Chain A
Amino acid sequence: MSSPSAPPGRPAVVAEHLVKVFRAKREVRALDGVSFAVEEGTVFGLLGPNGAGKTTAVRILTTILAPDEGRGTVLGHDVVRDADAVRRLIGLAGQYATVDEILTGRENLRMVGRLSHLPARQTLRRADELLEQFGLADAANRTLKTYSGGMRRRLDLAAALVSNPPVLFLDEPTTGLDPQSRRDLWHVIETLVRGGTTVLLTTQYLEEADRLAHRVIVVDHGRVIAQGTPADLKAELGATVITVTVDDAELAARTAALLAPLAPSPPVVDGTTVALTVERGAKVATEVLRALDQQFVEVLGLTLREPSLDDVFLRLTGRRTDQDTGGPPGAGALTGPEGRRGERGRGGRTRGATGRGEDR
């Protein structure tokens, strides 16, 4: 998916060398000198695995947490010295839907409206407007306990929008959502940006950043390890990924050996699929088929695709972004270095579940 082009503008959000150290059982440098600038009216993607420091950056920029070093500004206001001015300009929607379970949807929005210091009448109108817009009008008078995960997340986003903030922080807005709810939320975000809202988005889903963000930084262990447009990052990898699916794992290993001379880097085996990253996809694909045909290897499937940001992350860190099998389609279908070691069973990925606990 091609990324939207970024209109030029002044920075709406600036982070300058943010450092935050947590001292609990051991010292953790959650942020270790992170700098970036978000242009007004654009979507900025903060990308990285769990524990990379994304949420810490958002909490600092939304005045919830003070940085140990460095400074942040929102539309020119310092997030520490001028926190109150910043709070009037931002909306925050989180990974953990921050709404009151015991209140109804409407009550939640009214509460946030009043606490945002909107006039009473405007609060009432705005609450109803948002409930309508987010398809929650029917559920408006039900307590949130009865809401589904997707509805809760929509209400959370609606709460962030009550005061029409020019700058919106979305901390993993779609983590844990089903694909349909995820696409709905993307659509909402795209609509907001067309209306001029600046969005800072954190995500573990590379497809999400690819789809929404004009610019992206990749964070790992509190440091920025790459930045640019999604297209830049993909261009850096400069290649096409060819995956070949065969009948069983043993055959996959043999296939990998056969194909090794065709690609600059060794093919990656994952279960019954073999992936190779090459410069000229179509040409090599023909060679792949010819080579396998000559050796009487039956090919069950062959795909060509542009590298995703997942490939970028793998290339930058040598690790996969996460093990979350609940990710969007495509994001979990790649192989990592551990795949080479893997004594994986027939049919591919195993033990995806162990990593999931971290997300909760």
Chain B
Amino acid sequence: MTIAAAPTGSGGSVRWVLSDWVTMTWRNLIRLTRRPEAIFFSGVQPVMFVLLFRYVFGGAIHVTGTTYVNYLIAGVYVQTVMFGAVSTSVGLAEDLQAGLIERFRALPMARSAVLAGRTAADSVRNVGVLLLITGIGYAVGFRIQNSPVLVIAGFLLVLLFAYAISWTFAIIGLSTPNAETAQLAAFPILFPVTFASSAFVPVSSMPGWLQAFAVHQPVSQVTDAMRDLLLGPKPGQWGTSNVWQALAWACGMLIVFAPLSVWRFRRAT
């Protein structure tokens, strides 16, 4: 009998864990390319948000220190990766439903690979989405004001945050019985966090009780940090380190929710 290249220890060596992650990422990316309609619609939505807020609502929203379109694009970046995380929930729910997970569970692969592959593939998709939004933004008057280094740092920050959100939303996919329910379950969480934030309107326009929430929640923090990195800080605010706070949120969420998702995955049937 052949037991080819069997690694030792539970879950195998680090090398095999990485290999499993790569294989599962590859699988999810192939799946993505086989669904051109899904790619198309994941592009349509941010474009609609840009146009909607630029031309329909934007005129009624007053921001200080920059134009509304400049203010808006950072918000659309974060909003889009938030909404994109629903596909992590849905994708995992589909996987659990399909029975393929049964085979994965009976293979000597790392338990984390199903989730790691999914979230990594979603990150690749997010890179494309961020570029698309930047292009549309430029077409409607958005202009980057900062040096490329800071801008790239901004994109990396949004991607890291998106990655953390993916792991968080993975739990929804693993806790719901099917893809439809996963999608429905994601929105009640998604909407308040995305819209009761500084993504589209200045927090100062909200009632006081809502401001308290809106100022301190991660979508606002990451959006504000992104604005600083794209546009430069508002006068006298650079010291407030929006960026560090946003980074802390992203890392913190990843540290909490990634292990929690893996734990949930081990229990999901």
Contacts and interface: CB of A to CB of B under 8 A. Distances in A.
Binding between chains A and B: yes
A35 interface: no
Contact of A88 (B19, B26, B108): B108
A137 B20 CA distance: 26
Interface residues of A, number: 36
B27 interface: yes
Contacts of A94: 99, 102-103
Nearest to A62: B106
Interface stretch (B2-10, B165-173, B243-251): B2-10
Contact of A159 (B6, B30, B103): B103
B4 A102 contact: no
B99 A88 contact: no
Contacts of A97: 99
Interface stretch (A117-125, A178-186, A220-228, A260-268): A117-125
A118 B16 CA distance: 10
Contacts of B104: 115
Given A64-B102, A100-B100, A117 B35 contact: no
- Secondary structure at the A interface, as helix, strand, loop or mixed, is loop
Query: Which residue of A62, A94, A111 has the most chain B CB atoms within 10 A of its CB atom?
Result: A111
Interface residues of B, number: 35
Contact of A117 (B5, B9, B99, B269): B5
Contacts of A84: 9-12, 108
B20 A102 contact: no
Interface in B90-108: 98-100, 102-108
Contacts of B106: 62-64, 87, 90, 92
A64 B23 CA distance: 21
A107 interface: yes
B234 interface: no
A115 B107 contact: yes
A99 to B, nearest CB: 7
B11 A100 contact: no
A327 B40 CA distance: 45
A114 interface: yes
Nearest to B34: A102
Contact of A102 (B35, B103, B108): B35
Most buried by B among A97, A102, A116: A102
B103 A112 contact: yes
5 contacts: A88-B6, A98-B98, A100-B100, A103-B27, A114-B19
Interface of A: 59, 62-65, 84, 87-90, 92, 94, 96-103, 107, 111-112, 114-119, 122, 143, 159, 163-164, 166, 196
